[in-house]
């Protein structure tokens, strides 16, 4: 799709451009129709993963509190990832 | 009449438009009409702008799709990072618990051998609630119940308090066994003597209730001492003392039985104690090896003679194996130190 759009931009003749545009439009519509259910599934999976990971993290935190075990502190990326995941949760 | 009229009207309009157009064309041909030049330009311009907007729309859609794609990739990356960290933490926690006797649950492959679960009761409840939904329930309930029944009556072991390194014999230490179990995923059914994990945390504090504590001195009757027997006890003690004194004063070969002379025998308890055998009336010293009745001929070492006398006085064990005991003098020794002679 991107390649076709680039080709479109290169075109100078408006008439041919218009023709190509309509062709691209039709192709995009078919693609969109195919991928829409996949997108829905993806969202659902994302939310489930978020929930599971958050639960796991909570359990680990509880265990850590109970045992007073020193676990390695969160690195930067881990912190950002954790934040990201927590922000996902209220969306549900 | 009407069709003719309509036809004539249409014809008339057509003629007028025709006149108009020819006039315009004539003027365009002469170059006077300005509309003609702008018109195509306008059309072209409109066309171009339309095309541009369409292009822009396409680009916007494309960017949106790209962004969503990138978001998905980032999400997966973040998930991986967090999962890594979680698995590391779980490993650490599992190792920590294994030190105290937690043995991890076997997977579905090794169904035959499964283990009981770990320390904290509430923790085990949580894990029990979560895990049985996911993992197998096959042999869990019977094993869990058997292990629970084993738990309660067992006496506390050293490893219950994390002191298994002080254990000298018997059960091999927990960590290597547990770690091996974990590594090989072979969970061996442990003998019931294997201690389970006790609360790793702080030991519960219990305040001593000193208020209610009465210091009760044991009464004399518990020791068998009453006013009736008091005199006898003293006599018994004195008798022992006298025995020693008699031994010190007289020569080593006394035939008298100090036991019989000294003791009065009113009570039955002392009668039981006193017998013809001297062994029952021995003082509660460690049985010693000595032969007080032994007389060593002067041809042998005089030191040995001294030693034998020394023994009879102090009753300390001395090895006199070098000296051959003569049977004649053994008799005398038997009167008093029967036990020690038996040891000869």
| Residue closest to A41 by CA, chosen among A30, A49, A51, A53 | A49
Number of neighbours of residue B219 by Cβ within 10 angstroms: 8
State the Cα–Cα distance between residues B338 and B332, nearest whole angstrom: 10
Q: Tens digits of per-residue pLDDT, B277-303?
A: 445 565 677 666 656 665 555 555 556
| Residue closest to B335 by CA, chosen among B237, B238, B252, B264 | B252
**Residue A89 touches chain B, beta carbons under 8 Å:** no
- Tokens read off for B135: 């993992």
CA within 13 Å, CB half, A35: 10
**B96, A66: Cβ pair inside 8 Å?**
no
Predicted-complex ipTM score: 0.77
How near does any CA of chain A get to the CA of B118, in Å? 13
End-to-end Cα, chain A, rounded Å: 32
pLDDT band at B270 (very low <50, low <70, confident <90, very high): very low
CA dihedral B283, B287, B288, B291 (to 10 degrees): 80
Q: Tens digits of per-residue pLDDT, B12-64?
A: 999 999 999 999 888 888 876 666 677 778 888 888 888 788 888 888 988 99
In sequence order, the 6+-apart residues with CB closer than 8 A to the CB of B188 are B113, B177, B181
pLDDT band at A49 (very low <50, low <70, confident <90, very high): confident
State the Cα–Cα distance between residues B245 and B252, nearest whole angstrom: 12
Per-residue model confidence (pLDDT) at position B328: 46
Number of neighbours of residue B144 by Cβ within 10 angstroms: 17
pLDDT band at B207 (very low <50, low <70, confident <90, very high): low
The pTM (predicted TM-score) of the whole model is 0.37
pLDDT band at A15 (very low <50, low <70, confident <90, very high): confident
How near does any CA of chain B get to the CA of A47, in Å? 11
In sequence order, the 6+-apart residues with CB closer than 8 A to the CB of A88 are A46, A47, A50
Given a contact cutoff of 8 angstroms between Cβ atoms, the answer to whether B179 and B98 are in contact is: yes
* Residue A41, pLDDT above cutoff 80: yes
State the Cα–Cα distance between residues B216 and B141, nearest whole angstrom: 51
Best-predicted range by mean pLDDT (A24-28, B69-73, B119-123) = B69-73
Given a contact cutoff of 8 angstroms between Cβ atoms, the answer to whether B308 and B231 are in contact is: no
Q: Which helix (H) or strand (E) holds B259?
A: helix B258-262
Given a contact cutoff of 8 angstroms between Cβ atoms, the answer to whether B178 and B172 are in contact is: no
Best-predicted range by mean pLDDT (A9-18, B158-167, B185-194, B305-314) = B158-167
Burial profile B81-100: b = 16 or more Cβ within 10 angstroms, e = fewer:
bbeebbeebeebbeebbbbb
Number of neighbours of residue A62 by Cβ within 10 angstroms: 13
Q: Mean pLDDT over all residues of chain B?
A: 64
Q: Please name the residue of chain A whose CA is at the shortest distance from the CA of residue B58.
A: A5
State the Cα–Cα distance between residues B189 and B256, nearest whole angstrom: 70
Q: Tens digits of per-residue pLDDT, B218-256?
A: 676 667 666 766 666 666 667 777 777 787 777 555 444
- Which residue of A43, A51, A59 is the best one to mutate when testing the B interface, meaning the one whose CB has the most B CBs within 10 A? A59
How near does any CA of chain B get to the CA of A44, in Å? 12
């Amino acid at each position: 799709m991107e390649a076709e759009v680039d080709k479109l931009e290169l075109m100078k003749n408006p008439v041919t451009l218009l023709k190509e545009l309509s062709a691209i439009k039709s192709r995009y519509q078919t693609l969109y129709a195919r991928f829409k259910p996949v997108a829905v599934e993806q969202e659902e999976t994302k939310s489930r993963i978020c929930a599971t990971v958050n639960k796991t993290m909570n359990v680990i935190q509880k265990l850590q509190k109970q045992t007073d075990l020193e676990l390695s502190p969160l690195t930067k990326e881990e912190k950002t990832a954790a934040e990201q995941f927590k922000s996902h949760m209220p969306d549900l | 009449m009407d069709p003719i009229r309509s036809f004539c009207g249409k014809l008339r309009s057509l003629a007028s438009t025709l006149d108009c157009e020819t006039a315009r064309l004539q003027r365009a041909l002469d170059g006077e009409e300005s509309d003609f030049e702008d018109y195509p330009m306008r059309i072209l311009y409109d066309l171009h702008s339309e095309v541009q907007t369409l292009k822009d729309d396409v680009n916007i859609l494309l960017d949106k799709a790209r962004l969503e794609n990138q978001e998905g990739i980032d999400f997966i990356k973040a998930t991986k990072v967090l999962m890594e960290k979680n698995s590391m933490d779980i490993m650490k926690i599992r190792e920590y618990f294994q030190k105290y006797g937690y043995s991890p649950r076997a997977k579905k492959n090794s169904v035959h051998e499964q283990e009981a679960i770990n320390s904290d009761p509430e923790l085990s409840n949580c894990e029990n609630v979560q895990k049985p939904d996911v993992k197998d329930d096959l042999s869990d309930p019977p094993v869990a119940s058997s292990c629970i029944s084993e738990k309660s009556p067992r006496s506390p072991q050293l490893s219950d308090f994390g002191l298994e390194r002080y254990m000298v014999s018997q059960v091999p230490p927990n960590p290597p066994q547990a770690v091996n179990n974990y590594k090989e995923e072979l969970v061996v059914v442990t003998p019931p003597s294997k201690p389970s994990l006790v609360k790793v945390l702080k030991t519960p504090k219990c305040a001593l209730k000193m208020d209610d504590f009465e210091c009760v001195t044991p009464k004399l009757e518990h020791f068998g001492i009453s006013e009736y027997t008091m005199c006898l006890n003293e006599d018994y003690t004195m008798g022992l003392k006298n025995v020693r004194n008699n031994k010190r004063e007289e020569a080593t070969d006394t035939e008298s039985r100090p036991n019989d002379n000294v003791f009065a025998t009113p009570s039955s308890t002392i009668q039981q104690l006193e017998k013809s055998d001297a062994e029952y009336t021995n003082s509660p010293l460690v049985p010693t090896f000595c032969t007080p009745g032994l007389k060593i001929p002067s041809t042998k070492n005089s030191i040995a003679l001294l030693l034998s006398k020394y023994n009879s006085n102090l009753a300390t064990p001395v090895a006199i194996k070098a000296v051959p005991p003569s049977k004649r003098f053994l008799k005398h020794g038997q009167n008093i130190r029967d036990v020690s002679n038996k040891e000869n």
